[in-house]
Amino acid sequence: MNQDEIIKQGTKVYSRPRLMDDRNMHYCPGCSHGVVHKLVSEVIEELGLEDKTIGIAPVGCAVFAYHYIDVDWVEAAHGRAPAVATAVKRLDPSRMVFTYQGDGDLAAIGTAETIHAANRGENIAMIFINNGIYGMTGGQMAPTTLEGMKTATTPYGRRVDLNGYPLNITPLLAQLPGTCYVTRQSVHTAASVRKCKAAIKKAFQAALDGRGTAVIEVVSTCNSGWKMSPAKANEWMEENMFKAYPLGDLKPLE
Amino acid sequence: MAKVIGTVVVDRERCKGCDLCVVACPCDVLSLAAKDVNDRGYHYAMMVNPEACIGCAACATVCPDACIEVYRLTQK
Amino acid sequence: MNEEVRLMKGNEAIAHAAIRYGVDGYFGYPITPQSEVLETLEAEMPWETTGMVVLQAESEVSSINMVYGGASTGAAVMTSSSSPGISLMQEGISYIAAAELPALIVNVMRGGPGLGTIHPSQSDYFQATKGGGHGDYHLIVLAPATVQEMADFVGLGFDLAFKYRTPAMILADGIVGQMMEKVVLPPARPRRTPEEVAKQCPWAVTGKKGRGHRNVATSLELDSAIMEKNNERFQRTYDEIKRNEVRYKTYYTDDCDYLIVAFGSVARICLKSIEEARKQGIKIGLVRPITLWPFPYDEIAEIASHVKGILVVELNAGQMIEDVRLAVSHSLPVHHFGRMGGIVPNPLEVLNAFKQKFGL
């Protein structure tokens, strides 16, 4: 049976999410952002939240998230997405409000906003892309950069005596009574993508229902910043990133 | 016994040739075009072993650019 | 709530006026000498009556970004702080201006630089009127001299901010923030409904419901050709504001030989100096700019055309004097008298300084 016949007689089991714009994304080939963008689009559509979702975009590679997912957006200053989200949600709690932030945004410049929004139990979801590097500015050290990891600003590898330790922020957030759900996922295999989608769905529903702050860390690759092929970056992530940032629920949704 | 067959359609112009679909495919259906490139210069993904496709959608699921459609058919 | 006559501090008047105006949200962080704004709002609990959101943020940085988020949704949102806190907010204010969002920021100035002093000052004039944060932008800057104006400028500030889709600032000083005076509070009006917001602010980020297309609040544009057009649009808005919104008050300017220019509570001190001077036969007039941006250049130039000299009195080392000099193009002597560090001059001190500067 040839391809045309399968297409004609079969069922379409996977297609581009309806809420994703037609335009090509600016991300590098193999970038995890694209996969997470797909999941966000699918979840919003499946939960029927297209008309009441407001995304808060960060500064970092995902600064143009608002170009790709067809919901309302606010583009926040670097690190301030949780503060922006706080006001957007409080002014109308019927909205589903989520932030989409990288490690520099959420865990370096925006640490205060992240922790305090979570500690207040703002009814928002935070998607946290942790790839251990500053992608947009050209691969500098991030708070989550691993010890020994080479970046543009740690050209001989991160040294804890000079640069401090990698900041494992998600367990800190899990400790706060304001968070209702804290989980760490990845999107490097088909199975992990499906699990991550389920986590995002749970988080968005929890935020909508006013249960507190839901945090989904996605341990991700930045193959350009890491200077590896996308496939090699996935392997490196499994071997190195997952040791420092093990996957799983840090605080299950009750 | 029912047999599941599938096929994929790659949006060649959207594909950035990242190779993640090729790695994700459990049946070695896909490969990057060896010589051909799209308008943006990427060696796009294509089916090189279409008969082996089971329509599992692993390729599309991991595709960061959402450029793969998957079809599945159960043959009785 | 009907119109009401009360005795209260300027900071308290701002809080009461905000509730009565139908403000949707206030986000702030304590700092002397303006903490009564947040304290009064928390005590009044407007979320129980009008539904207004009041939140003490973790920092001024967070406060202003909450304002940015709230303003993106078309809500009438505000913050207040004092000089060091306003410095922290500058990035956010620049974003609000660049995203063309309405908001109200209150600065009850204290002395600087640095941590400076908690006592009154007017040393943030440059910061407020010349931009403050990065990029080519302006705030509409209102300078209240009375507790009544503290209350009135909340409504005026929001009206202008929404009219031009640009942030407005009330630039008060510690004196007008802390002193108690009689104030007539306006009757309360209801907050706008979501339908009214959607009609007034078709750009608002409220979720796509009923719209079909998405709205985005952003200040980012990497295409230089578009970004230049955006900047040109901002400048057209500023030109329109300059044409329409200059506000000032004059006192004794019909027959004056000299002029004092002062803003905020200092103008009230100068008015006393002028009354004393007139008893001594010296005819001084006063111009009190109410909008520090847009500045009343032409109006001051007009009055200056028939005087011998101008004294600019400020609680700083000489900031507004630069605009006064621009207004009169060095056509006559323009002197400055200022006190700093939180010291407020008395009327006789101003008069003596005036006489000394002009050799009278």
Helix runs in C73-167, H state only? 83-88, 90-98, 125-129, 147-164
Q: Please report the domains of chain A, with CATH numbers, ordered by start residue.
A: 27-251 (3.40.50.970)
Region for C330 from its dihedrals, namely left if φ exceeds 0, alpha if ψ lies in -120 to 50, beta otherwise: left
CATH code for position C79: 3.40.50.970
Whether B1 shows a pLDDT value over 90: the answer reads no
Amino acid code (one letter) for A42: E
Interatomic CA distance for residues C221 and C207, integer angstroms:
22
CB contact (8 A) between residue B19 and residue A190: no
Average pLDDT over residues A43-48: 98
Q: Cis before residue A166, ω within 30 degrees of 0? A: no
Residues C91 and C9 in one domain: yes
The pLDDT mean for chain B works out to 96
Residues C13 and C142 in one domain: yes
Residues C101 and C20 in one domain: yes
CA of A79 vs chain C CAs: smallest distance (Å): 10
E-assigned strands of chain C? 4-9, 25-28, 53-56, 77-81, 104-109, 140-142, 168-173, 180-185, 216-217, 248-251, 258-261, 284-289, 291-293, 309-314, 334-338
CA of A160 vs chain B CAs: smallest distance (Å): 33
Q: Is residue C220 part of a domain?
A: no
Whether C28 shows a pLDDT value over 90: the answer reads yes
Q: Is residue C94 part of a domain?
A: yes
Residues C67 and C178 in one domain: yes
Residues C178 and C288 in one domain: no
Whether C80 shows a pLDDT value over 80: the answer reads yes
Q: Where among C173, C194, C215 does a domain terminate?
A: C194
**Which residue in C53, C86, C87, C82 sits closest to C70, CA to CA?**
C53
Which of C79, C201, C205 is most worth mutating to test chain A (most A CB atoms within 10 A of its CB)?
A: C205
Rg of chain A on CA atoms, in Å: 18
User: Model-level pTM?
Assistant: 0.97
C318-332 tens-digit pLDDT: 999 999 999 999 899
Whether ipTM exceeds 0.85? yes
Residues C58 and C148 in one domain: yes
CB C257 within 8 A of CB C167: no
Number of Cβ pairs closer than 8 Å across A and B?
103
Q: Please report the domains of chain B, with CATH numbers, ordered by start residue.
A: 3-75 (3.30.70.20)
Q: Is residue C243 part of a domain?
A: no
pLDDT at C1: 87
Residues C258 and C348 in one domain: yes
Q: Is residue C288 part of a domain?
A: yes
Burial C227-236 (b: 16+ CB within 10 A, else e): eeeeeeebee
Give phi and psi for A15, each to the nearest 5: -150, 170
Residues C189 and C254 in one domain: no
Q: Is residue C199 part of a domain?
A: no
Q: Is residue C310 part of a domain?
A: yes
Q: Is residue C219 part of a domain?
A: no
Whether A1 shows a pLDDT value over 90: the answer reads no
Tell me how crowded residue A253 is: count the other CB atoms within 10 A of its CB: 17
CATH code for position C287: 3.40.50.920
CB C167 within 8 A of CB C139: yes
Which class for C6: exposed (0-12), middle (13-18), buried (19 or more C-beta within 10 A)?
Answer: middle
**Which residue in A128, A123, A129 sits closest to A213, CA to CA?**
A123
CB contact (8 A) between residue B18 and residue A10: no
Tell me how crowded residue C4 is: count the other CB atoms within 10 A of its CB: 13
A107-125 tens-digit pLDDT: 999 999 999 999 999 999 9
Give me the domain span that covers residue C176.
4-194
Region for C20 from its dihedrals, namely left if φ exceeds 0, alpha if ψ lies in -120 to 50, beta otherwise: alpha
Average pLDDT over residues A198-225: 98
Whether C72 shows a pLDDT value over 90: the answer reads yes
Location of structure tokens 């909008």: C291
Q: What is the band of A99 on the pLDDT scale with cuts at 50, 70, 90?
A: very high
Residues C123 and C35 in one domain: yes
Residues C188 and C301 in one domain: no
CB C130 within 8 A of CB C169: no
Q: Residue A222 has what DSSP assignment?
A: -
From chain A, the residues in CB contact with B56 under 8 A are: 190
Residues C64 and C188 in one domain: yes
E-assigned strands of A93-188? 96-102, 125-130, 133-134, 140-141, 179-186
Residues C257 and C182 in one domain: no
Please, what sign has the CA dihedral across residues C22, C179, C339, C350? positive
Tell me how crowded residue A198 is: count the other CB atoms within 10 A of its CB: 14
Q: Is residue C44 part of a domain?
A: yes
Number of separate domains in chain C = 2
C146-179 tens-digit pLDDT: 999 999 999 999 999 999 999 999 999 999 999 9
From chain A, the residues in CB contact with B16 under 8 A are: 28-30
From chain A, the residues in CB contact with C208 under 8 A are: 50-51, 70-72
From chain A, the residues in CB contact with C73 under 8 A are: 54, 87-88, 91-92
